[in-house]
Structure 1
């Protein structure tokens, strides 16, 4: 199982929230009584820590409830506005590099409840060509990022490195042939600019045979996704479709690149994600 930070953050929010409410109900009135019985000049000089001690507020309550506001803000922003992710693999090369830190718009595809990902307020629908972050269907504790290729009802085929959507070949233009030294995938590749429903972006195709070819009809309520590094991506060709309820948001910005732990972080890749 993966490290489900969203679930851990939700639990922390609930635990600290319970302690915060408990303090407001039980110990805040006691602190008010203590302050009310003090002389005005003494009351001004009493610190918050002193108030806690005078009202005999347990140290555990004081410590835990003090984190509530911070955790609530982080939880709210990550759940409903924008969430950061780091790219762990090369499946989205050349669009996203290993070590890129990205931002994901959490309300593009509807406001959703944390953890369960249930839509509570619909907004817009995912569009072909979007770079999407979603819960991996075979292990929802993991987050994946791919490009959305097929919408519900679409017919998608991939043969001999040619992508076809609804019997229409997706156009691509050869830009360069890259040697091993110039390609992070560590194999010679061809660099293409692809036009997927009006969204232009770069992709890699290797020279070797692509084993997972075929034709797929996208069922209702599901999506077909592929990596831009077409021959080095475990995507819908391998494990199937992405249910709508697994969608987390649209990746829209690279804000930092940190390739290796001992390397120097860089802003060279900063910019909007196409």
Structure 2
């Protein structure tokens, strides 16, 4: 019995060492860790969460890209890819459109959301938006209609939009498109939720993100 326990512990130690080695290799080659610095991507991500980024410069519609800020050297931006080269993004009556086609959204009702960076709590509309092969949550402020000016995405560039649609200042509505070649990669996992969660969004460790 004692030999069995020793063998089991030894095997577990070997597996742990292998996993640690794999993690180190990935960290040095194709994966980065980042801390979310704002709430523009809520409800998908919140400020203070740690996420994993897979390196690459090719993106599908709906992926969450991390790219160089087009106006501020040394800064990075994070947003969902909603417009690809040659496409036109726009809005009509509060509805987001790509090539004049509205995105399908399943509205789930009102929820309370607290932005911990400015200690402001709002009642927002929660919806599930379909985009390409992705379904993700979005926030709208009920008293504020979503609008976006018509924009044709240039060759080699991407239009990024935050899931928190009433949050301004951190997506292409304000700084324009980003150069795909200057992107670090895409977010694929929440490594760790915020230290002190305020909003009940069901976030936990090692969540796959879409």
What's the RMSD between the two structures over aligned residues? 2.2
Distance 1:140 1:80 in 2: 23
> In structure 2, what is the equivalent of residue 61 of structure 1?
none
The number of residues matched between the two structures is 176
Alignment gaps of 5+ in structure 1 = 1-73, 110-124, 261-266
Determine if the alignment matches structure 1 residue 205 to structure 2 residue 135.
no
Q: Could you tell me how far 1:223 is from its partner in structure 2?
A: 0.6
Determine if the alignment matches structure 1 residue 190 to structure 2 residue 190.
no
Q: Could you tell me how far 1:207 is from its partner in structure 2?
A: 2.0
Q: Could you tell me how far 1:98 is from its partner in structure 2?
A: 1.5
Pair 222,268 (structure 1): closer, same or farther in 2 beyond 3 Å: same
The higher relative CO (CA closer than 8 Å, separation ≥ 6) is in 2
> In structure 2, what is the equivalent of residue 97 of structure 1?
46
Q: Which of these two proteins has the greater Rg computed from alpha carbons?
A: 1
Q: Could you tell me how far 1:210 is from its partner in structure 2?
A: 5.0
- Asked if the contact 1:174/1:193 (under 8 Å) is kept, the reply is yes
Determine if the alignment matches structure 1 residue 252 to structure 2 residue 201.
no
Q: Could you tell me how far 1:213 is from its partner in structure 2?
A: 2.4
Distance 1:161 1:199 in 2: 21
- Asked if the contact 2:39/2:47 (under 8 Å) is kept, the reply is yes
Distance 2:94 2:114 in 1: 20
> In structure 2, what is the equivalent of residue 158 of structure 1?
91
Pair 196,130 (structure 1): closer, same or farther in 2 beyond 3 Å: same
Residues 225-273 of structure 1: CA deviation (Å, up to 9, x unaligned): 100001113211111110122211010001112345xxxxxx8253100
- Asked if the contact 1:104/1:251 (under 8 Å) is kept, the reply is yes
Pair 156,145 (structure 1): closer, same or farther in 2 beyond 3 Å: same
Distance 1:161 1:270 in 2: 34
Q: Which has the higher strand share?
A: 2
TM-score, normalization: structure 1?
0.60
- Asked if the contact 1:90/1:184 (under 8 Å) is kept, the reply is no
Q: Could you tell me how far 1:144 is from its partner in structure 2?
A: 1.4
Superposition pairs of residues 1-274 of structure 1, within 5 angstroms: 78=27, 80-106=29-55, 108-109=56-57, 125-178=58-111, 182-185=112-115, 186-210=121-145, 213-234=148-169, 235-259=171-195, 268-274=204-210
Q: Which has the higher helix share?
A: 1
TM-score, normalization: structure 2?
0.77
- Asked if the contact 1:191/1:202 (under 8 Å) is kept, the reply is yes
* SS across alignment from 1:237: helix
